[in-house]
Structure 1
Amino acid sequence: MGTDRLDEVLDAAYDCLTRYGVRRTTMDDIAASMGVSRSAVYQYVRGKDDAFRRLAGRLHEQALRRARDAATADTPYEVRLHGVLAAKLDLVLQLAGDSPHAAELLDARARVFGDICTSFTTELRALLTALFTEAGTAAGVTPARAADICVAQVVGLETAPRPRDLLAPATRALATGLFATDARPDDTP
């Protein structure tokens, strides 16, 4: 299967998703968006559900790649934390900004791709837990608990006004409160 052609199918599926949503999109819509026949689309996906599942997987994997790169970068812990949280927030804001329907790809309860959303959050928590394990956490806070707090914080930012503007100060507050004293930003008392 040609990866370029599969990407075209997924791009067309995303185009249809933003216009019609998952339920209202048909294979004919995806084919029309690509300018090909429906049978041509079936060469790359088994059906509409398969197309949306692969699309959700691609988008979540791209965000995870950015999060992994941030978590392992040779930068201060606060910068790494910000990068991981930004990968999650950017995914949500991109989808919500493109269309209210696109946010359907983030629904962990969705039958077709809910497991992808759940796996994404699990992997994000694992990256954050590893980061807090490496950096050390404040007294009384385990790395896993610190990761859960961070995920909850970024989920809260997803619906806030101007969430990207709030991410940096939220990250600083998290770093100050959750990292061990020697891993905190230089100007933290």
Structure 2
Amino acid sequence: MGGDRLAEVLDATYDCLTRFGVRRTTMDDIATAVGMSRSAVYQYVRNKDDAVRRVAGRLHDQALARAEAVASTELPPADRVRGILQAKLDLVLALAGASPHTAELLDAKARLYGDICTDFTTRLRQLLAEVFTEAGISTVEPTEAADIGIALVVGLESTHDARRLLGPATEALLTGLLGAPDAAR
């Protein structure tokens, strides 16, 4: 039961963040959104900062779990790279699309959750490097290839048609790093 109520508190926190942003959200807002007293909310989170940090962590953990799941499959390396990059792009587009305020949860320089963002990117980089190592790329170091892949997604994040462009952009990247499309599979 406690886990369910915590999830409700975090869901309410996310709802408040979409409406008000990190700075303007209050514990009263969260309590009202979840339908609890403020003192009851404190049974699940220490304070607003804790609630916001947990929301950021949950969102990044869910995206990372998707990336790790695809990375651990027996799919060809090109498909695993696509899946890992898709997990990053999906997180960004979901947060940016929900509200201009929720995009704040992607800020690696944020005091409350910047380390969560940084750790997420670091882990994606490791997953990509592992796949590139397994694929035996020789054009660049696997960690450099991973950095290029992440930079590709970061570049797409600000385009209006990012989902559609991820496919062709990833194909071009993989062709350059892994060789002809047939060889990449």
C-alpha RMSD of the superposition: 1.3
Q: Per-residue deviation at 1:161?
A: 1.8
Q: Per-residue deviation at 1:171?
A: 1.1
CA distance in structure 2 between the aligned counterparts of 1:163 and 1:101, rounded to whole angstroms: 20
**Aligned counterpart, 2:143:** 144
Q: Per-residue deviation at 1:185?
A: 2.6
Deviation digits for residues 106-156 of structure 1, max 9, x if unmatched? 0011000000000001001000010101111133x0000000000000000
CA distance in structure 2 between the aligned counterparts of 1:134 and 1:152, rounded to whole angstroms: 21
* 1:185 aligned onto 2:181: yes
Q: Which structure is higher in helix share? A: 2
CA distance in structure 2 between the aligned counterparts of 1:2 and 1:87, rounded to whole angstroms: 29
What SS class does the counterpart of residue 44 from structure 2 fall into?
coil
CA distance in structure 2 between the aligned counterparts of 1:16 and 1:161, rounded to whole angstroms: 26
CA distance in structure 1 between the aligned counterparts of 2:55 and 2:136, rounded to whole angstroms: 36
CA distance in structure 1 between the aligned counterparts of 2:165 and 2:183, rounded to whole angstroms: 19
* 1:175 aligned onto 2:171: no
> Contact 1:138/1:177 (CA < 8 Å) preserved in 2?
no
Structure 2 counterparts to residues 59-78 of structure 1, below 5 A: 59-78=59-78
Q: Which portions of structure 1, spanning 4 or more consecutive aligned residues, are displaced by more than 6 angstroms?
A: none
**Aligned counterpart, 2:21:** 21
- Residue identity (%): 66
Q: Per-residue deviation at 1:75?
A: 1.1
Q: Per-residue deviation at 1:50?
A: 0.1
CA distance in structure 2 between the aligned counterparts of 1:136 and 1:40, rounded to whole angstroms: 54
Calculate the TM-score normalised by the size of structure 1.
0.94
CA distance in structure 2 between the aligned counterparts of 1:128 and 1:8, rounded to whole angstroms: 34
- How many residues align? The count is 184
Structure 2 counterparts to residues 20-39 of structure 1, below 5 A: 20-39=20-39
What SS class does the counterpart of residue 22 from structure 1 fall into?
helix
Calculate the TM-score normalised by the size of structure 2.
0.96
CA distance in structure 1 between the aligned counterparts of 2:18 and 2:72, rounded to whole angstroms: 33
**Aligned counterpart, 1:42:** 42
CA distance in structure 2 between the aligned counterparts of 1:74 and 1:88, rounded to whole angstroms: 20
Q: What 5-or-longer segments of structure 1 have no aligned partner?
A: none
Q: Per-residue deviation at 1:187?
A: 7.2
Deviation digits for residues 3-40 of structure 1, max 9, x if unmatched? 11111010000000000000000000000001110011
Deviation digits for residues 163-186 of structure 1, max 9, x if unmatched? 00001111111111112x4xx531
Q: Per-residue deviation at 1:60?
A: 0.2
CA distance in structure 1 between the aligned counterparts of 2:112 and 2:47, rounded to whole angstroms: 12
Q: Which amino acid aligns with 2:10?
A: L
**Aligned counterpart, 2:132:** 132
What SS class does the counterpart of residue 182 from structure 2 fall into?
coil
Q: Which amino acid aligns with 1:82?
A: R
CA distance in structure 2 between the aligned counterparts of 1:131 and 1:4, rounded to whole angstroms: 36
